[in-house]
Amino acid sequence: MSTRAADAWDPRDLPPQDGRSYLVTGANAGLGFFTSEKLARAGAHVIMSGRHPNRLQAAHDALEARVPGASVETLLLDVANPGSIRAAAASVRGGLFQRARLDGVVFNAGVVHTPHARETTRDGRELVFATNALGHFVLGAELLTQLAKAATPRHRPRMVWLGSVSTLLGRHAPEDPQLENGYGGWKAYVQSKVAVQALGFEADARLRDAGVPVDSVVAHPGYSIGGRSPRVTGVSEPGLLKRLRDGLQAPIAQGKDTGADPIVRALLDPAIEGGEYWGPRLLTRGEPARQRPSATSSDPEVRARLWEACEHLAGLTWPFDKAARATR
């Protein structure tokens, strides 16, 4: 296990990322936007993805206004739609962006405010699981070889899966990933995040076994809320009531700009190894620190079962052999 002094990483002074390119899903708001902004400030080329064209363009324009000279592009991507995922990944692989290489991807997009009743996607998958977990599983498969191509002896590309502190609140083992029986909004959210974390840890184990020089890391933002986040026109505009209400939670909460720090560190810190779990030092708030994941999401049996379930639901397997060959 690698170690690093807590004060050796300054979220306000990131390592230069000039020449590197990163894709962030759900980049038009919240954690995704602030993650994209931090990467752009460090000199990275950022591909901001989202499913709403107008919101995505507004976020793009806001980022350029906040970071003059930022290198940023947009990509339409709906992680709940397999066709959209494959089309977006094909655009990345096909070199349709300013930079052909891909050094990392942040699996951020997701459903936070879950529907009260069970809903399904066009292809019949439960909406919350499909958006938070299954869609990113598909995207990871589609982009794996592209990530591997960017590897060098001194640089390992990364994928960062967005977990949640909620996974520590009960076991929530995903015996029924799509909640075909006993759906509940909170259960759907927590179970999907257990799945995200389990997939992130299992991905790293399988990448190592296959000899693919890509790391998989899991990070969570703690309790990051909109009312404590900076105002960004067209992106983050909490009203007075929300700011007052969220302000009462100051002892345990932080803004989404700060919540993005563990995500960015998980993506960029060269001292971090694949399979690690990062979040705020005080669990719900604070500077990034390595943490211990829930027992359920790190359970090898749960991980393997969810991986196989996603393979079945998505109708694909990750191209580990092809990705390994791409680096030779």
What is the DSSP track for 155-187? B--EEEEE--GGGGSS----SSTT-SSS--HHH
| Short-list 103, 111, 238, CA closest to 162 | 111
Q: What is the DSSP string of 50-84?
A: ES-HHHHHHHHHHHHHHSTT-EEEEEE--TT-HHH
Question: Which residues have CB under 8 Å from 62's CB, separation 6+?
Answer: 33, 232, 233, 234, 235
d(Cα 232, Cα 248) in Å, to the nearest integer?
Answer: 21
Residue the block writes with tokens 């960017």: 150
Q: Which two tokens stand for residue 194?
A: 């257990």
**DSSP H/E element including 261:** helix 256-268
Does 277 participate in catalysis according to the annotation?
Answer: no
Residues 6 or more apart whose Cβ sits within 8 Å of residue 19: none
Dihedral sign for Cα 324, 146, 45, 164, please. negative
**What residues form DSSP beta bridges with 225?**
255
With H, G, I as helix, E, B as strand and everything else as coil, classify residue 106. strand
**Which residue's entry shows tokens 């003059």?**
68
Tell me 218's DSSP state.
Answer: E
Q: Under DSSP, is residue 12 helix (H, G, I), strand (E, B) or coil?
A: coil
Exactly one of 183, 189, 223, 277 is catalytic; name it: 189
261's tokens: 């720090």
**Residues labelled catalytic:** 189
